[in-house]
Amino acid sequence: MERTVTPRVKICCISSIEEAWTAIRCGASALGLVSTMPSGPGVISFDLIAEIVAVVPPPIATFLLTCSQDANEIIEQLKYCRTNTVQICDRLEFGSYQDIRNALPGISIVQVIHVSTEESIEEAIALAPQVDAILLDSGNQSLLVKELGGTGRIHNWNLSAKIRELVDVPIFLAGGIKPENVALAVKQVGPFGLDLCSGVRSDGKLDLDKLKCLFQELKSCI
């Protein structure tokens, strides 16, 4: 995929209608809503996710983050929450992406790949034709308590840049991105989108000053 000069911004771990509107007003193109996870921040109930989604205006993408590895279960979650995008944070083990598309034709599917070794490149190349976008994050699915995102750690951006060059779907970059390093992330990886959580928060809450600083830094990339 070609390098993106000014990427879209997804603000993740949205926990209230107020946070959703704060992110949107600052310039976010997408919101991440975290359902049950084995670890990490920002988990909220399916009821609250549905409540937030109901007030988000149509141009904004709403991502349901799920740790489910079962396509049928993901379909039921999406029917309840009514997001327009699903972010699958673990490997799909039961059913297929096509099952999700058949049940919910309008849904965009984003698969997370936890970038660690050269094998991550092979995984991305294999999955890209089946999904609408890939999100590259820091994490570890091998741990007893899986890390499926929200670590606040930067992974190897050189690997992420290689993946972006080799696949034909949009790439979102996540993991440790903040106003202080966002320009470098854009320069080094050139992703379609950036995904931030802890980098724009203070004491777990969305920080308006950090958000404004982030978008100001992005303008410098143009």
3-state secondary structure labels for all residues of the chain: CCCCCCCEEEECCCCCHHHHHHHHHHCCCEEEEECCCCCCCCECCHHHHHHHHCCCCCCCEEEEEECCCEHHHHHHHHHHHCCCEEEECCCCCECCHHHHHHHCCCCEEEEEEECCCCHHHHHHHHHHHHCCEEEEECCECCCCCCECCCCCCCCCHHHHHHHHHHCCCCEEEECCCCCCCHHHHHHHHCCCEEEECHHHEECCEECHHHHHHHHHHHHCCC
Report yes or no on 124 lying in a domain: yes
- Give the pLDDT score at 72: 98
Q: Please, are residues 145 and 39 in contact by the beta-carbon 8 Å criterion?
A: yes
pLDDT number for residue 144 = 62
Task: Evaluate whether residue 148 is within a structural domain.
Answer: yes
Q: Which of 150, 162, 160 shows the shortest CA–CA distance to 197?
A: 150
Question: Is 1 part of a structural domain of the chain?
Answer: no
pLDDT cut 70: percent of the chain above it: 93
Q: What is the mean pLDDT of the chain?
A: 92
Evaluated on CA atoms 71, 81, 88, 186, the torsion sign reads positive
Residue corresponding to tokens 């990886």: 189
Confidence of residue 155 (pLDDT cuts 50, 70, 90): confident
Count of Cβ atoms closer than 10 Å to residue 202 Cβ: 11
Query: 149 in a domain, yes or no?
Result: yes
Q: pLDDT for 73-101, tens place per residue?
A: 999 999 999 999 999 999 999 999 999 99
- 204 inside domain: yes
Tell me the CATH number at 72: 3.20.20.70
Q: How many CB atoms lie within 10 A of CB 73?
A: 13
Query: In angstroms, rounded to a whole number, what is the distance separating the alpha carbons of residues 194 and 10?
Result: 6
In this structure, is residue 3 part of a structural domain?
no
pLDDT the model gives residue 139: 66
Q: What is the mean pLDDT of residues 122-137?
A: 96
The number of folded domains in the chain is: 1
Residue numbers of the domain that contains 143: 8-219
Whether residue 39 lies inside any domain: the answer is yes
- Quote the CA–CA distance of 133 and 112 in Å, as a whole number: 9
Structural domain includes residue 147: yes
Residues of the chain above pLDDT 90, percent:
82
